[in-house]
């Protein structure tokens, strides 16, 4: 019999409706998994057992009355420690943030989940201010990969990815400014979606500006579609949010991919060296889409690596994050963060605007590309998880995390929806992800294609072995 901690959010809600088990049972199971794996994986900054069980009991009473509060009533959820959660400090992975304070406000996505009855079980780890593609830092230590604790979970939403992978709640809220939900989801073998920018409201505004998205990290695409129904609710604190969604994220999820025009780019036109095991697994996922009726063509988007423009925007944002800190506080920062903040502070306004020009040109090129193709499919990452506690793989020659994430950050520049779906493992049993990118506002098409991979069995990998 499947343990409650291994059920999806959709399955949990169905079980509550049928009276097969209660939210208290599910929350206790999720907390047990979190506590069991915390010493090895370190997915959480803190667990909120008492308040979670209180929320679960209230949810159970609503279900007994046949009056659930919303779409995810009683579902255990975790929240990355960059997003405000009422009643809990948001430390942002930094020793420079003091835990004292009122902490009396929810981020928009958190507020929508609370309105729908979600049960918050804890805060997940992040590197300091979410600045890099792995999850380690001076405030919360190293978050490790559930499939091999000697390896990284990825980042910056590494705690959220690890929590979902181990069964510590089927839903987690992450943020993505350069790949930060997709990178760790790929490394940990779960699903994640970076929605179109503005589709999920965000407050406070990110110092990384319009690169930063909020997105669901889940067991599968159906859970993400359910979560998107909730977290896309409007919030007047975000002036850049998009208007209401026409229809439902779940409607048409089972529509399949027949007739969709899919461009498969295995290496962005030879710009990226992809490990053979990764290339083979991604090709298998693409062949599955073709077998299900998609029109698949090998085609590369028309752009060169925009990494320098991304660095200008990203490092400038990092410099802005720490601008208010005293010299003594800066000494508390992750040394890598201090370094990129120094670089960011040296950019001029003209440098920044030149990067914006590159970004706008990239967006134009991708807009033209999607006039011919509904979806672009690439590897999520060219590698699988490397050793924990370092920013780049040893011996790789990369200086910064962007060196090994060339498939992710371009689509933060363009603000397009992009998802990662597990599509296999390498010889060491480490997960591999395939990335599905859609035109701006085509989040439902991305979810439908991802769901098709799950329905066909192409997204099935073994869960981590929990000791």
Assess contact for 142 and 107: CB atoms under 8 A: no
Strand 148-152 to strand 213-218: parallel, antiparallel, or no bridges (unpaired)? unpaired
By three-state DSSP, how is residue 459 classified?
A: coil
34 sits in which H/E element: helix 23-41
Q: At what angle do helices 49-64 and 23-41 cross, to 10 degrees?
A: 160
Of 59, 78, 153, 156, the active-site residue reads 156
Of 59, 78, 80, 206, the active-site residue reads 80
Residue 364 C-alpha from the chain's centroid: 25
Four-residue CA torsion sign, 240, 177, 186, 35: negative
CA nearest neighbour of 275 among 389, 407, 402: 407
Residue whose token pair is 């999820």: 253
Distance CA 360, CA 366 (A): 10
The answer to whether residue 80 is catalytic is yes
Q: Which residues, including other chains, have CB under 8 Å from residue 423's CB and lie 6 or more apart?
A: 281, 282, 284, 285, 432, 433, 434, 453, 458, 459
Of 180, 186, 206, 458, the active-site residue reads 180
Distance CA 267, CA 272 (A): 5
Six-digit token string for 357: 């020009």
Six-digit token string for 249: 């994220």
391 sits in which H/E element: none
Helices assigned H by DSSP within 198-252? 221-231
Q: Which residues, including other chains, have CB under 8 Å from residue 131's CB and lie 6 or more apart?
A: 156, 318, 321, 334, 336, 337, 340
Give the active site residues: 80, 156, 180
């Amino acid at each position: 019999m499947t343990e409650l901690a291994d059920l999806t959010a959709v399955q949990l809600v169905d079980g509550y409706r049928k009276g097969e088990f209660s939210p208290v049972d599910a929350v206790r199971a999720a907390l047990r998994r979190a506590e069991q794996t915390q010493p090895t994986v370190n997915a959480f900054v803190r667990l909120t057992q008492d308040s979670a069980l209180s929320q679960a009991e209230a949810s159970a009473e609503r279900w007994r009355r046949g009056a659930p509060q919303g779409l995810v009533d009683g579902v255990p959820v975790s929240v990355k420690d960059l997003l405000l959660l009422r009643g809990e400090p948001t430390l942002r992975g930094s020793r420079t943030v003091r835990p004292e304070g009122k902490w009396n406000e929810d981020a928009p996505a958190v507020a929508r989940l609370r309105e729908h009855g979600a049960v918050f079980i804890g805060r997940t780890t992040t590197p300091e201010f979410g600045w890099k593609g792995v999850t380690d830092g001076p405030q919360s230590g190293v978050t490790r990969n559930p499939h091999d604790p000697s390896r990284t979970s990825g980042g910056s939403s590494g705690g959220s990815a690890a929590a979902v992978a181990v069964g510590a709640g089927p839903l987690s809220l992450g943020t993505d400014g350069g790949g930060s939900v997709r990178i760790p989801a790929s490394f940990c073998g779960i699903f994640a979606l970076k929605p179109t920018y503005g589709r999920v409201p965000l407050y406070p505004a990110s110092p990384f500006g319009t690169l930063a998205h909020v997105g669901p990290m889940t067991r599968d695409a159906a859970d993400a579609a359910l979560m998107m129904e909730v977290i896309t609710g409007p919030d007047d604190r975000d002036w850049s949010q998009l208007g209401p969604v026409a229809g439902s994220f779940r409607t048409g999820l089972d529509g399949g991919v027949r007739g969709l025009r899919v461009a498969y780019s295995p290496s962005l036109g030879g710009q990226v060296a992809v490990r053979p095991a990764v290339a083979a697994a991604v090709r298998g996922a693409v062949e599955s889409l073709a077998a299900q009726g998609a029109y698949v063509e090998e085609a590369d988007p028309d752009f060169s690596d925009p990494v320098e423009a991304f660095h200008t925007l990203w490092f400038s944002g990092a410099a802005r994050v720490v601008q208010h800190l005293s010299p003594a506080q800066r000494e508390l920062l992750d040394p890598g963060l201090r370094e990129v903040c120094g670089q960011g502070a040296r950019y001029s306004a003209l440098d920044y605007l030149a990067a914006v020009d590159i970004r706008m040109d990239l967006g134009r090129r991708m807009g033209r590309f999607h006039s011919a193709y509904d979806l672009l499919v690439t590897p999520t990452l060219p590698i699988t998880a490397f050793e924990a506690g370092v920013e780049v793989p040893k011996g790789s020659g990369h200086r910064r995390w962007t060196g090994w994430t060339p498939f992710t950050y371009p689509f933060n520049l363009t603000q397009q929806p992009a998802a990662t779906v597990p599509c296999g493992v390498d010889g060491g049993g480490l997960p591999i992800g395939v990335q599905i990118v859609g035109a701006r506002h085509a989040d439902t098409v991305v979810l439908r294609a991802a769901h098709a991979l799950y329905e066909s069995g192409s997204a099935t990998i073994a869960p981590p072995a929990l000791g």
